[in-house]
Amino acid sequence: MGVLISCPRCGESEDLNGEQVDGDITVHCLSCDLVWLRDLKPRCDRCTSTDVRPAYEAIVSKSRGTQLSMQSARLVYLCQHCDASKLAEYQITNSPLMPNELPTE
């Protein structure tokens, strides 16, 4: 998973301070002193498009031997452009997607 938020001016992702004001979140970069309003719309990590759709991805663990068990699911956003085949599969099956990496132990 990538960085959740970073400064649009200097790229800092650690040295940030957020404050909620009237239902909005303002973020202050302590590195370059930029203050901006955080956009809470989900975006694609690769192309930054807001043309994304919600989907669920399975959280799996090994239960016995090589058997995998679904423990829960997490909400992810699939890009209409970058994840087109994955999104089409999800819309047909309506089942949680398998994670990209499966547990090995």
User: Which segments within the chain are labelled E, that is strand?
Assistant: 16-21, 24-29, 35-37, 52-64, 67-79
pLDDT digits (tens, 9 = 90+) for 38-71: 888 888 988 989 999 999 999 888 877 778 888 8
Residue 38 contacts residue 18 (beta carbons within 8 Å): yes
State residue 67's pLDDT score.
Answer: 80
State residue 1's pLDDT score.
Answer: 40
Q: Determine the Cα–Cα distance for residues 41 and 56; give it in Å rounded to an integer.
A: 17
Residue 5 contacts residue 13 (beta carbons within 8 Å): yes
The tokens describing 79, both together, are 């890009």
